[in-house]
Every structure is written in structure tokens, then in C-alpha cells.
Amino acid sequence: MIERALTVPLLEALADTPVTMLAGARQTGKSTLAISLAEHGHSAEYVTLDDPTELAAARSDPSGFVARFGDPVIIDEVQRAPGLFLSIKAAVDQDRRPGRFLLTGSTNALLIPAVAEALAGRMEVLTLWPLSLAELEGRPGARFVEWLLAPEAELPGEVGIDRSDLVARVVAGGFPEAVERATARRTRWFVSYLTTILERDVRGLADIERLEQLPALLTAIALRARGPLNKSALSQDLGIPNSSLDRYLALLERVFLLRRLPAWHGRLGPRLVKSPKLLLADSGLLCHQLQLDADRLEADPAAFGIALEGYVGMELVKSAALSAAERRVLHYRTAKGAEVDFVVESAAGDIAGVEVKAAQTVSADDFKRFDRLQEALGDRFARGIVLYGGDRVVPFGERRAAWPIGLLAGG
């Protein structure tokens, strides 16, 4: 079993919080991780609401269902019985000992106002994304975002990743089952996976008549992932009304297929584009939607650029989620078109900019994109980094450097 970087934060939450929610898309390994905590001293009774009998019991008598179990308990796929949340709240209000409930869910229950209100102050939510490069390399952690925001960070000397290996990583993505499969079988896995998500989870969240539009929407988002969301263009291209588009995007976020990156903006500097950037939650899913295999990525620089940027964006999201301090992943774009692929912001407002370049060489011109951002931020500009396909860290002046993409693995 691959060690998950979220193991330690999860154990920390269970040690001081009555209810912990482990959320994330289906097939990211939530159940496996929850059960594996017994190896770290957190033994718990386990029940899954994918079992029809257990689900019927939870829905018909939520209070009796909760009272049935001793402490602690793991309730898998808890979103299938929303009535349980109020019963869990009542149980916790009577006994606030930490670690009583570990819940897992394939939809973001906190986007349901009643659930968020019921467990406010009683529950910590952790998100399990598909496997990161660091996890696949056996070095789980949050080092990369910490390096970005620490000017004096000591970095490894040479941490290159062979281009063919990088292409293979991007195409495979991070869903554990997809990573283990050969290319042809991986394609079948993604087809079945999307069918299950749309027919089961999305239909369970909302009554949508035209589910067949959602795969096309995912493909359109993948094609436009390098720029801010343009709802008018999406609506026109797909023939989906704006009102329906907003609803579809919200549903895809709730099942963790999309990650919305807000735009960075401040009171100073040029007028900024405030539309978010949308990322598919897994590069393997992106490549599947765009019908990109390793040969196509090797031969088509534009296609590789789209896939690699999405891959790096999600690697930043995964690393930021593990940081002990608050870290936000955003994007930056001015109304005149100046942009930085990603920016990572600390709780204090310090910002590092990240540009993604697939080539194995970097020039001074690649750093010009940071000029506007640094001008707007002043001393809060931590550094500007160009991630590239080489194997060495190369300084390009004060607070600017080229870093190998391999550093995403944590060195």
C-alpha cells in the first residue's frame, strides 16, 4: 500500500476533534486509508452505506443507527444518508470526546448549508485527492509549497525527471486503480468511472435530465484549463444555458471532479480578471477526456502544455492541502492579458508565482510574466519560479529561479 501524506493530519484531527470528515472523489482511497488507521492505533468499528441494508437503516432511523455503534466508528459514504448529520450532532453535544466519528464522503457535504451548520465547530474536513507525485515516489509531504514561500529554503541539487517518465505520470494521473493499469485497460477504467459518478453520485445530488452533457462539459473545461473561466463561451459552444451551466459546474465540484482556483486580486495594481480557473482534478482524467496518450503528448507540444499545466496545478493543490499553515493556490491575470499560471499565497499575504514550461531550457524572457505581479506586491512577492523539464535549480536574479518539475516530488 502506498503511504498517503494525509495519514498524519488525519490522526491529528482524530486526536482533538469529535468528528472528522475524510472527503474526496470516488476511488481515491478514502476507505482504504480510514481502515488502515488501525495500524497507527486508531481502531474503529466500520460500516459502509454502500451496503443497501445499512443504508436503509440509516435513512429510516438515523438516531438509532448512530446509537448502535460504540466509539469510535467509521461511517463510509455518509453523504448517502444526510439525516445522519443531525443525529451525529446530537451525539457529539452529549459527549465531545475526540475521535468518536470518522466519516468518509464522495461528495462535499459542507456545500449543503444544513450539514455545515449542524457540525460547525464539531468537525474537521480533510480532502483526499488522487495520488501525488510525492506519494508515488515514496516521499509524501508538503515540501514544495513550503519551499516556494521560504526564500532561504535549501533545495536538492539535481532532481530531474526523465521526459518520458513525466509524460507517463501525466497520462496515468493519480487514481490508484488507474495508475496500476496498462494504457488500454486504463481507458476502460475511466469510462466506467465517469459513468458511475454521473449516474450514481450526480444523479443522487440533483434531478438532471441531460446527464449526457456533463462529459462534453468536462472536455470543454479541459481544453480551456489554461485560461480563466469564460461561461459565455462555454454556454455558446455547448448549447447549455448559463443558469444550467452554473448548476452543472457546482455539481462537478461537489463530486470532486473539478477544482476551482480563484483569481488573486488586491486593491493596488492593474485591473485584474476575477474569473476563476477550473482544473480537472486529475491529469489522467484530463488526458482521457481529450484522448491524449503518451505518443500524442510526445509529438504535440501544445497538447502536452495543456496536460502538464493541469498536472502541476493539482500537484500544488495537493501540496498546499498538507501544509501546517494556510496556503491558497490561485491564478493571476490582468485585463490586458499579463498572467501567471499559478500563485501560492500564505496566510500573511506573501505570494510566490509559478509558471509551467515543458521545455528543458529556460531563458530570461520566461520570467517577464512575474514583472507585473512583483510590481503590485512589492516586498510580499516571495519569489517567481519557472518549473521546467530540466534537472537543476538555476537562479535568474533576485527571488527568481528555474526549478525542475521533479521538485514536485519533494526532493
pLDDT above 80 (res 305): yes
Question: Is 0.85 topped by the overall pTM?
Answer: yes
Where is average pLDDT lowest: 111-125, 190-204, 298-312? 111-125
CB-based contact 278:220 (threshold 8 Å): no
> Given this model, what pLDDT does residue 182 score?
84
Res. 116: pLDDT tops 70? no
- Ordered domains of the chain (ranges, CATH): 7-127 (3.40.50.300), 133-409 (no CATH)
How far is 217 from 257, CA to CA, in rounded Å?
A: 12
230 vs 232: CA distance, rounded Å: 6
pLDDT in tens, 132-178: 999 998 886 668 898 999 877 778 766 778 899 999 999 999 999 99
Distance CA(24)–CA(27), nearest Å, equals 9
Pairing verdict, β 339-346 and 351-356: antiparallel
Each residue's pLDDT tens digit, 250-273: 889 989 999 999 998 765 455 677
Query: pLDDT exceeding 90 applies to what percent of the chain?
Result: 59
Indicate if the pLDDT at residue 344 is higher than 90.
Answer: yes
pLDDT for residue 36 is more than 90: yes
Query: Stretch 339-346: mean pLDDT, rounded?
Result: 94
- The three grid cell numbers given for residue 66, joined into one nine-digit string: 448512530
- pLDDT attached to residue 142: 66
Residue 206: the pLDDT is: 65
Nearest residue to 208 (alpha-carbon basis) of 167, 147, 152, 250: 250
* High-pLDDT (> 70) share of the chain, %: 93
Query: At residue 316, does pLDDT exceed 80?
Result: yes
Supply the pLDDT for residue 131. 96
Average pLDDT value for residue range 29-47:
93
Answer yes or no: is pLDDT of 279 > 60. Answer: yes
pLDDT at 411 over 60: no
Segment 372-390 shows an average pLDDT of 92
Length of the chain: 411
Please check the confidence at residue 392 and state whether its pLDDT lies above 80. yes
Q: What's residue 113's pLDDT?
A: 64
Separation CA 252–CA 42 (nearest Å) = 32
Backbone angles phi, psi at 35, to 5 degrees: -70, -35
The string of pLDDT tens digits covering residues 355-371 is 999 999 999 999 999 99
Whether the per-residue pLDDT at 25 is higher than 80: the answer is yes
- pLDDT (tens digit, 9 = 90+) per residue, 56-97? 999 999 999 999 998 899 999 998 898 899 999 999 999 999
